[in-house]
């Protein structure tokens, strides 16, 4: 009797599709973990037999090489960990700058593609087809070669006399008196502009709902812009003067030099990904049905309000997911900077691997970094997507 009762419950247990699926998944997971453990132990034994040490202890050793460019200074006496950190910061710097540039280019291209002006839409179409259909690495090398053909420091081009110099060693620009670069100030100002303008839009919408009046838009936006610039100035320590570069000997001193390697990588990433984002913007805007536009025209909304309140919220639902994929692709493609000599993470990791001999550890650390940043970008964009998506019933 007990045997029959046990068999009955076992049959019921096994016939449950959910439970059976969990058993299959658990079995596969155990087999995969056992296989990974086998390969890991086998690799460790092979390394020990050849006298190759493993682990992350090498990160505390002196690197023995310097990195010529970076947000933080790295010389030969610093550790391997500091070298990899410098490379990671360089990767983030060029990636963030390129994401901002690609987004601006993409927005302009997407709108231009839908323009009634044939010259403007034709230019946008040629741009998209040209940059999408040529290799990104080729574009980076082309920009690098063009930049290195500029005159030397003594014959520098100066579009803004006394402040901006273009040479084959890079672009020399002023810095604020506290040492803050104009690029950093621009990014900070851009963030504050987005925050202030978004706040101004919400206040205007609230006023429109409460009073039915939409006037005062220009004053609100102007106030948001002034507040953003004032906030940037205060956060940077209220600088009052610019320190411009000056020619001393064979190089410019003072100010900040943006290297040809950084510029070539920035152009290669932002111009290439910008073409894809331009098509994403165009498709997103065209995804809004004509009925929605006709319904918007039936109520007293300006073209600007129609775009901001009706077209853009629906278009973002289409644009955000593919744009996220492009941002992640841009981050990973920053590793192409090794081709033009920019010391991003991949380049620094190659040097670290050569000098330390810890190839496996270096590759794993690099993989963890790229995976972590890519997942962070995806998580942030998914969070934003949930905020802007239209709530459907």
CB 47 within 8 A of CB 54: yes
pLDDT in the model for residue 123? 93
Which of 267, 373, 388, 382 lies closest to 329 in space, CA to CA? 373
CB 265 within 8 A of CB 336: yes
Q: In the structure encoding, which two tokens stand for residue 237, read together?
A: 């320590």
- What are residue 166's DSSP bridge partners? 157, 171
The per-residue pLDDT for range 199-253, each reduced to its tens digit, is: 887 777 777 777 766 666 677 777 888 888 888 888 888 887 777 788 787 777 7
pTM for this model (two decimals): 0.81
pLDDT in tens, the chain (393 residues): 555 545 655 666 666 777 777 888 888 989 998 998 887 788 777 767 766 666 778 888 898 889 888 878 888 888 999 999 999 999 999 999 999 999 999 999 999 998 888 999 999 999 999 999 999 999 999 999 999 998 888 888 877 777 788 888 888 888 887 777 777 788 788 888 888 888 887 777 777 777 766 666 677 777 888 888 888 888 888 887 777 788 787 777 777 888 899 999 999 999 999 999 999 999 998 888 888 777 777 776 777 777 777 888 888 888 888 999 999 999 999 999 999 989 999 999 999 988 888 888 888 899 999 999 999 988 888 887 777 666 655
Q: In the structure encoding, which two tokens stand for residue 81, read together?
A: 């960990």
- Which CATH entry fits the domain spanning 80-172+252-388: 2.60.40.10, 1.10.3720.10, 3.20.20.140, 3.40.640.10? 1.10.3720.10
Collapse the DSSP code of 64 into the 3-class scheme (helix H, G, I; strand E, B; otherwise coil) and give the result.
coil
pLDDT in the model for residue 47? 66
CB 204 within 8 A of CB 308: no
Instruction: Say how far apart CA 393 and CA 391 lie, in whole Å.
Output: 7
Domain boundaries, the chain: 80-172+252-388, 175-243
CB 168 within 8 A of CB 147: yes
Angle at 279 (CA atoms; ends 90, 106), nearest 5 degrees? 45
Q: In the structure encoding, which two tokens stand for residue 182, read together?
A: 């104009």
Which of 278, 382, 270, 392 lies closest to 320 in space, CA to CA? 382
Which residues have a Cβ under 8 Å from the Cβ of 98 and sit 6 or more positions away? 265, 266, 269, 270, 273, 330, 334
């Amino acid at each position: 009797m007990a045997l029959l009762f046990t068999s009955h419950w076992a049959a019921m247990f096994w016939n449950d599709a959910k439970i059976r699926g969990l058993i299959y998944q658990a079995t596969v997971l155990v087999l995969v973990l056992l296989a990974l453990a086998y390969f890991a132990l086998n690799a460790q034994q092979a390394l020990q037999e050849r006298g190759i040490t493993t682990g992350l202890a090498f990160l505390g050793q002196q690197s023995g090489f310097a990195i010529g460019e970076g947000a933080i200074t790295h010389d030969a006496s610093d550790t391997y960990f500091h070298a990899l950190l410098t490379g990671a910061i360089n990767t983030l710097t060029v990636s963030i700058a390129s994401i901002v540039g690609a987004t601006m280019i993409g927005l302009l291209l997407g709108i231009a593609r839908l323009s009634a002006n044939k010259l403007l839409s034709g230019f946008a179409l040629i741009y998209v087809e040209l940059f999408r259909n040529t290799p990104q690495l080729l574009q980076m090398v082309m920009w690098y070669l063009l930049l290195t053909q500029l005159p030397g420091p003594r014959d520098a081009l100066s579009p803004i006399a006394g402040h901006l110099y273009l040479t084959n060693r890079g672009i020399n620009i002023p810095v604020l008196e506290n040492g803050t670069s104009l690029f950093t100030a621009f990014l900070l100002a851009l963030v504050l502009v987005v925050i202030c303008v978004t706040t101004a839009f919400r206040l205007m919408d609230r006023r429109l709902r409460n009073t039915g009046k939409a006037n005062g838009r220009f004053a609100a936006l102007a106030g948001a812009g002034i507040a953003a610039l004032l906030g940037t100035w205060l956060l940077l320590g209220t600088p009052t003067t610019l320190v411009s570069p000056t020619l001393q000997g064979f190089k410019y001193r003072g100010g900040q030099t943006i290297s040809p390697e950084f510029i070539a990588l920035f152009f290669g990433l932002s111009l290439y990904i910008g073409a894809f984002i331009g098509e994403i913007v165009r498709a997103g805007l065209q995804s809004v049905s004509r009925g929605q536009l006709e319904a918007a025209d039936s109520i007293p909304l300006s073209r600007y309000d129609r775009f901001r309140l009706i077209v853009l919220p629906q278009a973002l639902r289409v644009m955000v997911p593919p744009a996220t994929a492009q941002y992640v692709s841009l981050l990973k493609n920053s590793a192409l900077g090794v081709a033009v000599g920019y010391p991003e993470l991949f380049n620094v990791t190659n040097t670290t691997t050569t000098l330390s001999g810890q190839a496996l550890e270096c590759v794993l650390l690099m993989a963890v970094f790229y995976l972590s940043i890519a997942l962070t970008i995806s998580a942030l964009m998914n969070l934003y997507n949930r905020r802007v998506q239209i709530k459907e019933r």
